[in-house]
Amino acid sequence: MIEKIRSVFNSRFRHWGLNIPSDDFAHRKRGRIESAGWIIEYLFDSDDEGEYLDYYASHRMTEDEHVRIRADGRCEDLPSISGLHEISEDPVETARLTAQHVAENRRILEMLRAKGFALDPDDA
């Protein structure tokens, strides 16, 4: 069933010609892809629903994405660092919203680091 994971990942990044190396799939090795403007970290794991691949993808032209691909091909969106946040015409409210945004990004960054993703500290 790992082939379904490979197919879904490859389909997502087909436009840029990005693939997880076959050896990494075969041995369920974590890794990193830096190509075509993307930085993608990935890891294999399993839980009570079976095997999965988690990846975190960053590109300067888009928001980050953190996705779990299950062995049956289902994708689950997971928390990712956001570059955008709400603001207000009220400067006090904008300050509160900004602080909330920064705190949430820091929480997500710590969760990603706990998973073993080596993200840049400036991402938060």
Condensed to tens digits (0 to 9), the pLDDT of residues 78-110 reads 999 998 888 889 899 999 999 999 999 999 999
Q: Same domain, yes or no, for 67 and 27?
A: yes
Q: Same domain, yes or no, for 108 and 119?
A: yes
Q: Same domain, yes or no, for 5 and 23?
A: yes
Q: The pTM is what?
A: 0.87
Q: Same domain, yes or no, for 32 and 71?
A: yes
Count the Cβ atoms, other than its own, within 10 Å of residue 67: 19
Q: Same domain, yes or no, for 11 and 23?
A: yes
Find the domain containing 119 and state its range. 81-124
CA distance 39 to 33: 6
Contacts with 81 (C-beta within 8 Å, 6 or more apart), sequence order: 64, 105, 108, 109, 112, 119, 123, 124
pLDDT at position 121 is 46
Count structural domains, the chain.
Answer: 2
Mean pLDDT score of the chain:
92
Query: For residue 19, is pLDDT > 50?
Result: yes
Q: Same domain, yes or no, for 72 and 111?
A: no
What is the identity of the amino acid at 68?
R
pLDDT at position 1 is 66
